[in-house]
């Protein structure tokens, strides 16, 4: 699984729990991975636009503290894509584990 596809999976997984704005998505990825994974702005926002164009997520504007934020939410199509990505990920983990052996 390529890095871009991994990030797609992580973003969809964050949005599975609840709708979030871009910065909160990046923070959730960092927090849940205990700082090991990051989603940089230059990569995250183009991905969010692509996910929305593919109808995996949808966005709406929300006013928060007098400021407008774009909030993203997972669609039914996005939920199906997340299931597919998780299945692919588990297959890859199994394959790598088989190569590494029991000491992995």
| 64: confidence class by pLDDT, cuts 50, 70, 90 | confident
For residue 12, give the nearest of 63, 38, 51 by alpha carbon. Answer: 51
Q: What is the mean pLDDT of residues 48-59?
A: 98
Decide if pLDDT at 102 tops 70: no
Report all structural domains of the chain as residue ranges with CATH numbers, in order of start.
3-98 (1.10.10.10)
Q: What is the mean pLDDT of residues 25-45?
A: 95
Decide if pLDDT at 84 tops 80: yes
For residue 29, the model assigns a pLDDT of 97
For residue 28, give the nearest of 11, 40, 45 by alpha carbon. Answer: 11
Whole-number percent of the chain with pLDDT over 70: 97
């Amino acid at each position: 699984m390529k890095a871009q596809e991994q990030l797609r999976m992580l973003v969809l997984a964050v949005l599975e729990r609840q709708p979030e704005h871009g910065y909160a998505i990046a923070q959730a990825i960092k927090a849940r991975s205990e700082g090991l994974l990051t989603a940089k702005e230059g990569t995250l926002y183009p991905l969010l636009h692509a996910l929305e164009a593919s109808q995996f997520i949808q966005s709406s504007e929300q006013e928060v503290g007098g400021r407008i934020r774009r909030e993203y939410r997972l669609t039914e199509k996005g939920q199906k894509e997340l299931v597919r990505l998780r299945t692919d990920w588990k297959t890859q983990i199994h394959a790598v584990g088989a190569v590494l052996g029991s000491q992995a």
